[in-house]
Amino acid sequence: MSLDAFVLGLLEDPIDHERLLYVASREVLYNPRRRRAYEVRGAIPVMLDTEARDVPAEEHEALMAAPDGVWTGEDA
């Protein structure tokens, strides 16, 4: 289940307060600046830094190139 546009417009990284890349096919919100991924569980984003995971370089490239990637924030 994907996140709706209203929710995407509100989401930001809880640490650096910048936008995130939402990749629905991987159920993840990704911060490429910090290389941290937040899981989306059943259309609920888990935005706790203690629950986020580090992303290795290979996965970073795949997430950044994902065709279904959408940026969060006001323009979402």
Burial class of residue 54 (count of CB atoms within 10 Å of its CB; 0-12, 13-18, 19+): exposed
The conformation of residue 22, written as its DSSP 8-state character, comes to: E
Tokens of 56: 């290795």
Domains annotated for the chain, with CATH where assigned, are 5-71 (2.20.25.10)
Can you tell me the distance from the alpha carbon of 73 to that of 60, in angstroms, rounded to the nearest whole number? Answer: 20
Tens of pLDDT along 1-31? 689 899 999 999 999 999 999 999 999 999 9
Tens of pLDDT along 34-76? 999 999 998 899 999 999 999 999 999 999 999 999 999 977 5
Q: Tell me the pTM.
A: 0.93
Can you tell me the distance from the alpha carbon of 64 to that of 50, in angstroms, rounded to the nearest whole number? Answer: 23
